[in-house]
């Protein structure tokens, strides 16, 4: 069918034609936002899931939900090799200047800017050439202890108070949260604790890999009382079919049941793969309904595309010993697997694999779903590894 009209959208962060199966989480965040706006307490939300399950597109949708409820949305992502403050500070500066432009009397916004100025000079963080206006003086005793866990909550409190003064609320949307180190994550959690204690209108909606609940728990043992971790997984069979069928039907098309079976057989309900198979099948079909044969032909291209992009970008960042470790894991199937079994397959001792294992965890290629267990962070990665390196 006409590729220009193709509704499917395979790609990191590409909005799907229909966001299927996420209504419950959207509702949870709507309730969170409404409650916090009214000064009631509610757990903030951290979406967790493997790569390609749809965390980023859902986070974007949740940002729109917050905007519709008149939240000021501050959105950014954690980066592997950049300090959290260096990413956060310019965003907070912009937020405070936005609040400053809103109607309202009082000095809380200027106090927020003063706290930010303190924090910037204490941690030697730059927010670019412009900095914070010369007419704002850093506030002695606020956000200047040099301890991130003390200073960030101070700053966030002053921002929460500024929002109250301007009769608004703030939503902090952070993607790739797993890239924060333990101290940064701890400081963020303490900040959210402060928001709750003071009933300030600031919510956190974040997303990241399934390691996050454990990382947050290690950083602050009480994090579970502050944060809820909805897990995004593959779509149910019904939702997976809907994600393919509805966009086709909406364009006056049809797709046969056995074609949907075949798509599901390959994608197992993972959103990224659904978009890929939907996209390629649409392009292959020369007329409606889309048939089994179209999907079969599309599968070859889909696998090639995924191998060349989705899987390959991650594979390309690995050194040979890491590739070998993952290939060993892949031999055992999709996982999770005990570290000991990986060592056995590779005919090595568990202890000697320690450093490779640690660097793969750090790079976010694998995670530990339970003590002593390892799993891939990318769905169907075992199959890819066996294609990429046929012989162990």
Ligand X SMILES: Nc1ncnc2c1ncn2[C@@H]1O[C@H](COP(=O)(O)OP(=O)(O)O)[C@@H](O)[C@H]1O
- Considering beta carbons, is residue 153 or 234 the nearer one to ligand X? 234
- Considering beta carbons, is residue 274 or 329 the nearer one to ligand X? 274
Separation of alpha carbons 56 and 72, rounded Å: 19
Which two three-digit tokens encode residue 211? 């390691």
- Considering beta carbons, is residue 19 or 125 the nearer one to Mg ion? 19
- By beta carbon distance, the residue nearest Mg ion is 56
Q: Which does 275 bind (CB under 5 to 8 A by kind): Mg ion, ligand X, none?
A: ligand X
Cβ–Cβ under 8 Å, residues 48 and 209: yes
Separation of alpha carbons 385 and 381, rounded Å: 6
Separation of alpha carbons 352 and 338, rounded Å: 15
- Considering beta carbons, is residue 56 or 223 the nearer one to Mg ion? 56
Q: Which does 119 bind (CB under 5 to 8 A by kind): Mg ion, ligand X, none?
A: none
Residues 6+ apart with CB under 8 A from 349: 343
Q: Which does 160 bind (CB under 5 to 8 A by kind): Mg ion, ligand X, none?
A: none
Separation of alpha carbons 147 and 161, rounded Å: 21
Q: Which does 153 bind (CB under 5 to 8 A by kind): ligand X, Mg ion, none?
A: none
Q: How far is the CB of 175 from Mg ion (least distance, A)?
A: 6
Helix (H) or strand (E) holding 298: helix 292-306
Does 377 bind Mg ion (CB under 5 A)? Our answer is no
Separation of alpha carbons 86 and 103, rounded Å: 29
Binding mask of the shown chain, residues 36 to 75, with x at each position contacting Mg ion by CB under 5 A: -------------------xx-------------------
Q: Which does 274 bind (CB under 5 to 8 A by kind): Mg ion, ligand X, none?
A: ligand X
Residue 336: asked if its preceding bond is cis (omega within 30°), the reply is yes
- Considering beta carbons, is residue 99 or 206 the nearer one to Mg ion? 206
Q: How far is the CB of 221 from ligand X (least distance, A)?
A: 27
Separation of alpha carbons 292 and 143, rounded Å: 62
Q: How far is the CB of 13 from Mg ion (least distance, A)?
A: 6
Give the interface size with Mg ion as a residue count (CB under 5 A).
2
Q: Which does 16 bind (CB under 5 to 8 A by kind): ligand X, Mg ion, none?
A: ligand X
- Considering beta carbons, is residue 58 or 116 the nearer one to Mg ion? 58
Q: Which does 69 bind (CB under 5 to 8 A by kind): Mg ion, ligand X, none?
A: none
Separation of alpha carbons 209 and 185, rounded Å: 14
Please, which residues bridge with residue 73 across strands? 171
Q: What angle do CA 360, 366, 370 make, to 5 degrees?
A: 125
Q: What angle do CA 209, 156, 76 make, to 5 degrees?
A: 40
Strand, coil or helix: 374? strand
- Which residues contact ligand X (rule: CB under 6 A)? 9-14, 16, 19-22, 49, 51-57, 243, 271-272, 274-275
Q: How far is the CB of 196 from Mg ion (least distance, A)?
A: 27
Strand, coil or helix: 57? helix
- Considering beta carbons, is residue 61 or 194 the nearer one to ligand X? 61
- Considering beta carbons, is residue 54 or 63 the nearer one to ligand X? 54
Question: Which residues sit at the interface with Mg ion, rule CB under 5 A?
Answer: 55-56
């Amino acid at each position: 069918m006409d590729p220009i009209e193709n509704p499917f959208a395979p790609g990191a962060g590409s909005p799907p034609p229909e966001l299927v199966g996420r209504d419950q989480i959207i509702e949870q965040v709507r309730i969170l936002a409404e409650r916090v706006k009214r000064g009631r307490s509610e757990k903030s939300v951290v979406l967790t899931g493997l790569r390609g399950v749809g965390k980023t597109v859902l986070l974007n949708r949740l940002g729109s939900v917050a905007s519709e409820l008149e939240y000021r949305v501050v959105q950014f992502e954690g980066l592997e090799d950049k300090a959290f403050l260096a990413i956060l500070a310019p965003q907070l500066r912009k937020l405070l200047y936005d609040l400053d432009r809103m109607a309202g009397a009082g000095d809380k916004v200027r106090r927020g800017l003063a706290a930010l100025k303190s924090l910037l000079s204490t941690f030697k963080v730059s927010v670019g050439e412009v900095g914070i206006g010369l007419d704002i003086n850093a506030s002695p005793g606020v956000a200047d202890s040099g301890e991130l866990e003390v200073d960030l909550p101070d700053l966030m409190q002053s921002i929460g108070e500024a929002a109250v003064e301007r009769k608004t609320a703030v939503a902090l949307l952070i993607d790739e949260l797993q890239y924060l180190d333990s101290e940064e994550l701890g400081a963020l959690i303490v900040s959210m604790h402060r928001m709750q204690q003071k009933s300030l209108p600031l919510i956190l909606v974040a997303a990241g890999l399934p390691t996050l609940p454990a990382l947050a728990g290690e950083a602050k043992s009480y994090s579970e009382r502050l944060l809820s971790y909805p897990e995004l997984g593959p779509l149910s069979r019904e939702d997976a079919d809907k994600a393919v069928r509805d966009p086709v039907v909406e364009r006056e098309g049809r797709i046969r049941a056995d074609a949907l079976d075949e798509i599901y057989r390959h994608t197992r309900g993972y959103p990224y793969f659904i978009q890929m198979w939907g996209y390629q099948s649409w392009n292959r079909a020369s007329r409606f309904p889309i048939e089994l044969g179209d999907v079969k032909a599309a599968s070859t291209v889909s696998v090639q595309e995924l191998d060349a992009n989705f899987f390959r970008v991650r594979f390309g960042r690995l050194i040979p010993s890491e590739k070998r470790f993952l290939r060993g894991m892949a031999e055992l199937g999709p996982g999770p697997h005990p570290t000991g079994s990986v060592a056995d397959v590779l005919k090595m001792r568990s202890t000697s694999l320690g450093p490779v294992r640690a660097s793969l965890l750090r790079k976010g290629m694998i995670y530990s779903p339970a003590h002593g267990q390892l799993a891939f962070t990318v769905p169907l990665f075992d199959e890819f590894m066996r294609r990429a390196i046929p012989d162990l």
